[in-house]
Amino acid sequence: MTHTVLRIDASARHVGSESRKLADRIIERLDADTVIHRDLAVAVPAIDADWLTANWTPEADRSDEQREKLALSSTLIDEIKAADTLVIATPIYNFSVPAALKAWIDQIARAGITFQYTENGPKGLLEGKRAIIAIASGGTQVGSDIDFASGYLKHIMSFIGITDVQFVAADQLMVDADASHAKADAALEALAA
């Protein structure tokens, strides 16, 4: 059985990025047949009024300009659909996710495509996938009251239907780098391929 991984890198840094290093190790452990890579250091545009209008226009009624406005969003969603596992590598910037990752989330959270509203509330449409979130921070402890990244990412994954979410964290690197790396190593060892 083939295994496809979508790797999302959200760090603005390439050299010295702890989240990218964690993602490298996760990808190696997963031994995927195919890895699709989306590097958000190459900016994903923020949604704007024209994007919203295009998104809310029924597909059959969209102009060529509206289709073009949604083309990247559709490509990003197709990347998720093609993957069995998402590996999202992100630092915590100022207690939350980088703006580039938030822009990616805004592009992929589309009613009727990745989630739908029901009488019981929203239902994710991308079920049967797994997400592994590699998260790094200088001082913020993952899961603490000041961490607005990990809970948000877990919620977004569930919102689009991905409920199997695991974290590999190298947090508080500026507090105790050795302990942080040891904790990340243990989480990596616990990951099933």
pLDDT tens sequence across 102-115: 999 999 999 999 99
| Binding-site sequence positions for FMN | 11, 17-19
In the prediction, which pLDDT does 193 show?
A: 63
> How many structural domains does the chain have?
1
134: which 2 tokens? 């590699």
Contact 83, 5 (CB under 8 A): yes
> Which DSSP letter does residue 60 get?
G
| Binding-site sequence positions | 11, 17-19
Amino acid at 95: F
Round the average pLDDT of the chain to a whole number and report it: 95
pTM of the model: 0.95
pLDDT tens sequence across 148-169: 999 999 999 999 999 999 999 9
pLDDT above 70: residue 46:
yes
In the prediction, which pLDDT does 44 show?
A: 93
Q: Which domain holds residue 113?
A: 4-190
Q: CA-CA distance, 123 to 116, in Å (whole number)?
A: 5
User: Could you tell me the CATH number of the domain that includes residue 19?
Assistant: 3.40.50.360
